[in-house]
């Protein structure tokens, strides 16, 4: 049996969790149709029936809902102890989760407890004997084939490795409430307080329809006026590469990339950004990419859909003027 740790948001199972279940179905098919169960922990943001209904449409058999005071606040160790408990009762041979901070953390605890390996950021499955997966390393610039020869096989699925899609055949989606005992030692490291982010600093960037990005080519902390004007004309958000925050030109919450925000706008205008793999990891989901760069050979230019070759401080003001001229 395959056990999937499901994380939730206002839509029920969040997108990465639905992608992970979709990934697990390929594995299930390779194994001759082994059942897929889900485990979900703590208070749910949606009614339990709507979550089980949604998970059934993805082919999930049982939904193990872990409840109890011990799970009112998040903790990696306590969540892992609950997943271990569900795994022991179901006898799962595979435990997986989305490659999110919590997915990674809980499964790393589980792997340490079970004394088995964990593969992070898996993008494809290679075969059952031996159980082989391919995962992203070096921020996605390199792939690694790895053998998971212990049971349970533990891995997380990289975001966007597959597209989330409902199953052809519905699962039972049976709700199973569980209330496992938790060792007090597993409650030591838990969230004691949670504050809303100070004015949700990077939320706008992640959900923006248009993002104007700036890299080293911006040239200095005081050289963002034209970029900010374009951002405003397109009703978008400003994002920057790591070098811009490292140099202190712009705040960290504006950073796009492996260690910043991952964006998926309709349009990403990448200005003066060379396109290092760390940055690409954060912007590759943009539907259309327009690169503005002096270097026609820059990776960002070759990966973009459209490009203008030139200094951003000449091109961007000209675009701003053209937009304003056409608006009259």
Q: Residues forming the annotated binding site for FAD?
A: 216, 241-242, 255-259, 272-279, 293
- H helices of 37-162, where? 48-57, 76-90, 101-114
Q: Which residues are annotated binding-site positions?
A: 216, 241-242, 255-259, 272-279, 293
Q: What pairing do the DSSP bridges indicate for beta strands 2-5 and 12-13?
A: unpaired
For the chain, how far is it from start to end, CA to CA, in angstroms?
Answer: 64
Nearest distance from residue 74's CB to another protein, in Å?
7
Nearer to another protein, 196 or 220 (CB): 196
Nearer to another protein, 143 or 176 (CB): 143
Tokens at residue 189, please? Answer: 């490291």
Nearest distance from residue 17's CB to another protein, in Å?
14
Cis link prior to 305 (omega < 30° from 0)? Answer: no
Is-contact 225 231, C-beta < 8 A?
no
What does DSSP assign to residue 181? -
Measured between alpha carbons, how far is 84 from 89 in angstroms, rounded to an integer? Answer: 9
Question: Residue 199: left if φ>0, alpha if ψ -120 to 50, beta else—which one?
Answer: left
Nearest distance from residue 168's CB to another protein, in Å?
30
Nearest distance from residue 137's CB to another protein, in Å?
5
Nearer to another protein, 10 or 169 (CB): 10
Nearest distance from residue 130's CB to another protein, in Å?
9
Nearest distance from residue 69's CB to another protein, in Å?
18
Tokens at residue 209, please? Answer: 């329809």
Nearer to another protein, 52 or 293 (CB): 293
> DSSP letters of 27-64?
HHHHTTS--EEEEEES--SS-HHHHHHHHHHTT--EEE
Q: Which residues contact 29 (CB under 8 A, 6 or more apart)?
A: none
Nearer to another protein, 15 or 172 (CB): 15
Nearer to another protein, 27 or 36 (CB): 27
**For residue 111, how many C-alpha atoms fall within 13 Å in the half-sphere facing its CB?**
22
């Amino acid at each position: 049996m395959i056990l999937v740790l499901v994380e939730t948001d206002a839509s029920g199972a969040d997108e990465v969790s639905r992608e992970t279940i979709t990934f697990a179905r390929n594995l299930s098919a390779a194994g001759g149709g082994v059942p897929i169960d889900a485990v979900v922990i703590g208070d749910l943001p949606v009614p339990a029936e709507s979550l089980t209904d949604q998970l059934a449409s993805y082919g999930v058999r049982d939904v193990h809902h872990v409840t109890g005071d011990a799970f009112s606040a998040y903790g990696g160790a306590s969540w892992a102890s609950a997943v271990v408990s569900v795994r022991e009762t179901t006898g799962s041979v595979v435990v997986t989760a989305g490659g999110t901070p919590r997915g990674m953390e809980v499964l790393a605890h589980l792997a340490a407890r079970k004394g088995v390996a964990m593969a992070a950021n898996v993008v494809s499955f290679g075969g059952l004997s031996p159980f082989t997966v391919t995962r992203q390393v070096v921020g996605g610039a390199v792939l690694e084939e790895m053998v998971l020869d212990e049971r349970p096989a533990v891995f997380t699925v990289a975001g966007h490795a597959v597209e989330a899609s409902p199953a052809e055949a519905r699962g039972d989606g049976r709700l199973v409430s569980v209330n496992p005992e938790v060792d007090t030692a597993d409650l030591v490291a838990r969230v004691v307080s949670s504050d809303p982010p100070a004015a949700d600093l990077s939320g706008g960037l992640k959900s923006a329809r248009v993002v104007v990005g700036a890299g080293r080519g911006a040239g200095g902390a005081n050289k963002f006026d034209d970029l900010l004007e374009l951002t405003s004309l397109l009703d978008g958000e400003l994002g920057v590469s790591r070098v811009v925050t490292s140099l202190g030109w712009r705040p960290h919450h504006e950073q796009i990339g492996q260690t910043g925000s991952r964006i998926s706008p309709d349009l990403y205008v990448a200005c003066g950004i060379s396109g290092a793999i760390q940055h690409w990891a954060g912007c590759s989901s943009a539907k259309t990419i327009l690169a503005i760069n002096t270097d026609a050979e820059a990776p960002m230019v070759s990966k973009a859909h459209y490009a203008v070759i030139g200094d951003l401080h000449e091109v961007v003001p000209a675009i701003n003027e053209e937009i304003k001229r056409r608006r009259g």
